[in-house]
Amino acid sequence: MEVFEAILKRRSVRKFTDKKVTDEQIDKLLNAAMAAPSACNKRPWHFYVVKNEEVLSQLKKASRFSNKNSSLIIVACGDTKRALPMQLNDYWIQDVSAAVENILLTATGLGLGTCWCGLHPMVRTVKKVRAILGAPEHHIPMALIHVGYPDEFPEARTQFEEKRVKIID
């Protein structure tokens, strides 16, 4: 699928069929994620790929937005041990967000649906998800991404608004 088309087609999908995402597809999603730009190329990320029924079920109860019927969840985390120091530390959020967007777009190109559920900066939810994943303190769960074959098909769209642009020429 052409890149601009994928960008418009990427919509949040909240209902999935039972068909499983394959390991080959998961590999492609992770390759896309890690091709994202990052500040000083630090690549301050870690990805938990969850297929286990019990862990999926716990994750779906972790926040009131995360209860969807997907059979695959990828939790994208920041890795503060790899992040930049001091005032630049928070750049990991931008880096991981670009990686997440790459996952969503690649999934769209594969005919998969996704839903990005925000975790960080909700402190309690971050702690809960970290505990469920058995993740160390320096991994900060930022996005819980449902992935699966869509059972609903929102229309492609831009949400272009002219008033959000200022041209300086």
Q: Is 118 in the site for a second copy (CB under 8 A)?
A: yes
Shortest CB 95 distance to a second copy, Å:
8
Selected from 21, 50, 112, 147, the binder of a second copy by CB under 8 A is: 50
Indicate the pairing of strand 113-118 with strand 45-50: unpaired
Beta bridge partners of 79: 139
User: Which one of 13-21, 86-94, 146-154 is the stretch in contact with a second copy (CB under 8 A)?
Assistant: 86-94
Q: Are 18 and 32 in contact (CB under 8 A)?
A: no
Task: State which residue, 16 or 46, has the beta carbon closest to a second copy.
Answer: 46
How far apart CA 38 and CA 79 sit, in angstroms, is 12
Q: Is 108 in the site for a second copy (CB under 8 A)?
A: yes
Shortest CB 162 distance to a second copy, Å:
9
Q: Among residue numbers 56 through 75, which ones bind a second copy (CB under 8 A)?
A: none
Instruction: State which amino acid sits at residue 34.
Output: M
Q: Is 80 in the site for a second copy (CB under 8 A)?
A: no
Peptide bond into 150 cis (omega under 30): no
* x-marked contacts with a second copy along 12-41 as a string, rule CB under 8 A: x---------------x-xxx-xxxx-x-x
DSSP string for residues in 76-122: EEEETTTSPPGGGTTHHHHHHHHHHHHHHHHHHHTT-EEEEEE-TT-
Closest-CA residue to 63 (of 136, 113, 126):
126
Q: Are 168 and 121 in contact (CB under 8 A)?
A: no
Q: Is 85 in the site for a second copy (CB under 8 A)?
A: no
Residues that bind a second copy (CB under 8 A): 1-8, 10, 12, 28, 30-32, 34-37, 39, 41, 43, 45-52, 55, 79, 87-88, 90-91, 93-95, 97-98, 100-102, 104-106, 108-109, 116, 118, 121-123, 133, 135, 142-143, 157-161, 164-169
